[in-house]
Chains A and B, each alone.
Chain A
């Protein structure tokens, strides 16, 4: 019954999830078991790249959930993603121990540079993995809760919400750029050594992170699917389409929006936490408003309002980005900008919508 609801009734989703699972099996095998001379060998670089895409796909899911289903455009999801990343980054920093450049047993290198005497209170506990992971969920979740509470209860909607979420991530960016914040300022956190005792430079560790990302994506997808197929999911869509009617049906619209926003923020934070060990750095640049808005474009390109569309969008846009920034960096912003315009003008339902249209034509 639950399988029927979550998977079987969703052909596109099954296809996409199948591909993700397939990737999670094949990529590590081709990377670890095959010699680098083999034509099927997958390079470390590709593994890292695909792992990054998996995190982005999870992030896109969280944006799609709030934008595609509830119609709330958040231009601040980059903030939750980055906060999650910082949570993981702090854990990884504590794992460095005395192997930093200055060899201080407790303080991070940047704290030594700033002549700090002791570890700030908010760095306490991050040497424990479970605590760090808890914070990865809690901090963005609480921020979303507080922010969403303030925003939704005063019925800030539409573009206003978009703009103040953008201001939120912008403010966080400014704050994290400050050295006194104690998060490494400009340079952010980097030079990680190991995670849970596994060396981050090791091939197998990276493959493991890749598989973890794939699993998180599948689980995240199923959780989102569970929400949107439930009655609550229908209420959420109703809020998007006719907010006031929903309210007069006796639903507390703000509550639905708030919990969905919090869940979505936590999902984004998980994506951020998985992203950081794979790219090896997190810095305040990730808070940049452009990043947050790029996520929206992934979803718009893939097709908002369908969960697998978000995954498709995240993969295709990021693949294009990698391709163009490598071969012709000049043109990438033209293409990204053009994508914004074209998708909103011509493809309101994204790639998925395009396929649907062809299929319907074929049916006729």
Chain B
């Protein structure tokens, strides 16, 4: 980057002043006519010489449910960080649809634009009731002045109710979120993604620490999202992955090792070696 551009970047007013920012509704410009909704191409990220991602290529189709597996340190979380704008890669490109370059956008812009993310550890607003958690996440104008003066519309309330039913927390809507069980917190977080009406959902280890029944419920929930949203699930639990996925991507040392149905992947000798070998 030349100094002039860097200077321009530094003083970009929209870095802080959201009033001068264009409304980031990507729906109009989102172009998925070639199939994939997310193009991750040649992404490399390194921390202090350690290559977390190494020429990673990944294409997610519109409405697809994709599972991503891989041993520890394969770069799964880093990949999510790159897509959601938390980490800027050293090289490569990430496109949302065919036109929107995600690397140029900041976290909140990406979130507003339709990519939601659930963290490994459930992060919800523990001090607020379930309903307010969803209210905060609801898709609407999220600028300061608007939120200062406007309340939820009836439509938005309906949408929240709908999601509450979907995640099975209708009965708990007035309960403080911190008091929910671990599984319920995970669902609430997924619910918070859903009320934003995202096109892509990134879900990091949704069933870690859940009871069998909760796992089952989560699987149903994720499968029900398929079609309306593209869902990317990162998970260690093989049984769970098998139960929901039709397409699985295996990451190893920062790049894609294998891709295909669960059976194909499991019979791939390289995958077997990574998981069992050495």
- Given A238-B125, A253-B108, A232:B144 Cβ within 8 A: yes
- By a CB distance below 8 angstroms, the chain B residues around A203 are none
Residue of A with least CB distance to B12: A153
Number of interchain pairs (Cβ within 8 Å)? 89
Q: What chain B residues lie within 8 Å of A255 (beta carbons)?
A: 16-18, 143-144
Please name all residues of chain B whose beta carbon is closer than 8 Å to the beta carbon of A232 when the two chains form the complex: 144, 147-148
Contact status B147-A248, CB under 8 Å: no
Is B34 close to A, CB under 8 A? no
Closest to B19 in A: A255
A238 to B84, CA, bound (A): 19
Q: Give the CA-CA distance A237 to B126 in the complex, in Å.
A: 11
Q: Is the CB of A251 within 8 A of B108?
A: yes
- B 153-191 contacts with A by CB, 8 A: none
Size category of the A interface is 20 to 34
In chain A between 240 and 283, which residues have their CB closer than 8 angstroms to a CB of chain B? 241-242, 244-256, 258-259
In this assembly, does A324 line the interface, its C-beta being within 8 Å of a C-beta of chain B?
Answer: no
Chain A neighbourhood of B150, CB < 8 A:
231
With A245-B123, A255-B143 as contacts: A235 and B136 at CB distance below 8 Å: yes
- CB of A242 to closest CB in B, whole Å: 5
In the complex, what distance in Å separates the CA atom of A247 from the CA atom of B192? 13
Q: Does B127 contact A (CB under 8 A)?
A: yes
Distance A244 CA – B143 CA, assembled complex (angstroms) = 17
Inter-subunit contact B107/A247 (CB<8 Å): yes
Q: What does DSSP make chain A's interface, helix, strand, loop or mixed?
A: helix
Q: Indicate which residue in B15, B112, B135 contacts A234 across the interface (CB closer than 8 Å).
A: B135
Q: Mark B37-58, 1 if CB is under 8 A from A, else 0.
A: 0000000000000000000000
For B111, give its contact among A249, A256, A258 (CB under 8 Å). A249
Chain A residues with CB under 8 Å of B147's CB are: 230-232, 235
- State the Cβ distance, B146 to closest chain A Cβ, in Å: 8
Report 16 cross-chain contacts, Cβ distance below 8 Å, ordered by A residue.
A153-B15, A226-B148, A230-B147, A235-B147, A237-B128, A245-B123, A247-B107, A248-B116, A249-B137, A249-B142, A249-B196, A250-B111, A250-B112, A252-B21, A252-B106, A253-B108
Known: A234-B128, A249-B142, A250-B112. 20 other contacts (CB 8 A): A152-B16, A153-B16, A227-B148, A230-B147, A232-B144, A237-B125, A238-B125, A238-B136, A241-B126, A245-B125, A248-B107, A249-B192, A250-B137, A250-B139, A251-B136, A251-B142, A252-B18, A255-B143, A255-B144, A258-B16
- Where the two chains meet, the residues of A that have a C-beta atom closer than 8 Å to any C-beta of B are 149, 152-153, 226-227, 230-232, 234-235, 237-238, 241-242, 244-256, 258-259
